[in-house]
Structure formats: structure tokens, C-alpha cells
């Protein structure tokens, strides 16, 4: 008989060792959980929420319909649609893999990221879209690939791929880059770096620009 425990409406609190060898809590809530305590593998189903570092400033919440958690490998996997939230960042996508020890997440399909930051008296919203993303929960940096697009009130940029830093709000777009700002000025190039806080863009490689004179 398999060493499996099935319980309805369950909360699990698991401690995960990180690089410093301290243990970081992972809280799992779901409608049903099966736990193989021999293999240390958890299957959670129905309104699943995984909370990494609960109660801390960098708390991360993952919600999904189905989640698998391998405690020995410190890996969380969730097929299908998933949402991830931090203090000022939300991410949705499909087919999630999280390495909790390295604090890295990967989404393989239909990624939508929304970053909200206060600037003076207003909240600025940055939306990012792509097919896939790899993101560091620790460093707040990552890479997006496949149909990348950023949308802001002041500009829109598309490219094949992009590197980004959500903490510094710096975005580097690579290959087949097209930018259009709120005044309809255009930049086409191979590489474009957007410094959101400074409201500056730097273009490199095969640059083709069109600027408009206000009459």
C-alpha cells in the first residue's frame, strides 16, 4: 500500500533549506492534498495556494488548480494556468516550474507581468507580455522570450526577447526591436535599453528612427 495521505481542506507548512542552510517556510493550502512521505512528494488539488516566505517583505504567492511539490528537490511544478504575486508584481502564465533553493521561476506559455510602482502622487503601471519567462525571486531579474512586448502610458516596445530588472526598472530589448512613444516617435533597432525611472532609452545596432516636430 502506498504511503500516501489524502486530506480535504488542508494546510501544510514545510521548511525549505536555502543557500545559507537556514530553513524557509513554504505554506500550502488546497482542497485536497496527497502526501507521499516516503518520497516526500506532495500533490495539491483545488484552489491551491503556495506561499513562499509567508509574512515576509518578499513573500511570494502562487495560485493554481494543481500543484506538485518535491520536498527533497525543492521544486514546485504546476501544469496549466498559474498566477504569482509579490508586493508590487503580479505574473500570470502557464506551466510553472519553481526551484525554491535557487529562488528561480519559469513559465512556459502566455506570460503576462504587471508591475505597479508609485511615482510622486501617481502609480505607474508597466505591463510585459511574452511566451516564456525565467525570473529570479531573489534578484528581481529575468529573461523573457517569444513575442515580447512592454506597454506603458508613455511608450510601447516589442522585440524577440528581453532581459529585465524589476527592482531597478531597467529593460533591455533584443532583436527586431520596435518602439513607439506617446508622441508617436519611432525607433527600430537591434537593441534598446529602457531606463524607466530616468525616462531614457538607448538604442544600438541598425537604428532607424522617425521623430515628429510639434507645430
Angstrom CA distances, 159 to 2, 131, 167, stand at: 49, 12, 21
Contacts of 148 (CB under 8 A, 6+ apart): 128, 129, 130, 158, 159, 160, 161, 162, 173
Domain residue spans of the chain = 1-71+79-85, 103-215
Q: Residue 64 in contact with residue 96, Cβ under 8 Å?
A: yes
Please count the other Cβ atoms lying within 10 Å of the Cβ belonging to residue 209.
11
CATH architecture of 103-215: Sandwich (2.60)
Report phi then psi at 58, rounded to 5. Answer: -100, 30
**Coil, helix or strand at residue 17:** strand
- Cell numbers of 215, please? 507645430
Digits of tens for pLDDT over the chain (215 positions)?
444 444 334 444 544 554 445 677 888 899 998 989 888 898 999 999 999 888 888 899 999 999 999 988 999 999 999 999 998 999 999 999 999 889 999 999 999 999 998 877 889 999 999 999 999 999 999 999 999 999 999 999 999 999 999 999 999 999 999 999 998 999 999 999 999 999 999 999 999 999 887 76
Quote the pTM value: 0.85
**Coil, helix or strand at residue 138:** coil
Amino acid at each position: 500500500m502506498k504511503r500516501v495521505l489524502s486530506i480535504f481542506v488542508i494546510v501544510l507548512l514545510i521548511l525549505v533549506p536555502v543557500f545559507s542552510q537556514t530553513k524557509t517556510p513554504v505554506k500550502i493550502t488546497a482542497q485536497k492534498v496527497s502526501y507521499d512521505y516516503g518520497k516526500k512528494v506532495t500533490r495539491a488539488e483545488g484552489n491551491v495556494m503556495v506561499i513562499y516566505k509567508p509574512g515576509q517583505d518578499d513573500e511570494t504567492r502562487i495560485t493554481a488548480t494543481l500543484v506538485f511539490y518535491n520536498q527533497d528537490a525543492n521544486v514546485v511544478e504546476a501544469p496549466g494556468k498559474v498566477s504569482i504575486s509579490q508586493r508590487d508584481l503580479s505574473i500570470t502564465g502557464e506551466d510553472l516550474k519553481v526551484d525554491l533553493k535557487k529562488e528561480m521561476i519559469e513559465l512556459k506559455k502566455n506570460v503576462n507581468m504587471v508591475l505597479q510602482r508609485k511615482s510622486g502622487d501617481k502609480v505607474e503601471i508597466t505591463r510585459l507580455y511574452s511566451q516564456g519567462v525565467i525570473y529570479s525571486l531573489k534578484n528581481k531579474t529575468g529573461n523573457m522570450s517569444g513575442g515580447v512586448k512592454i506597454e506603458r502610458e508613455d511608450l510601447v516596445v516589442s522585440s524577440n526577447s528581453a532581459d529585465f530588472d524589476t527592482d531597478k526598472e531597467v529593460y533591455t530589448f533584443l532583436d527586431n526591436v520596435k518602439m513607439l512613444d506617446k508622441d508617436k516617435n519611432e525607433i527600430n533597432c537591434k537593441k534598446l535599453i529602457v531606463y524607466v525611472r530616468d525616462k531614457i532609452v538607448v538604442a544600438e545596432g541598425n537604428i532607424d528612427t522617425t521623430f515628429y516636430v510639434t507645430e
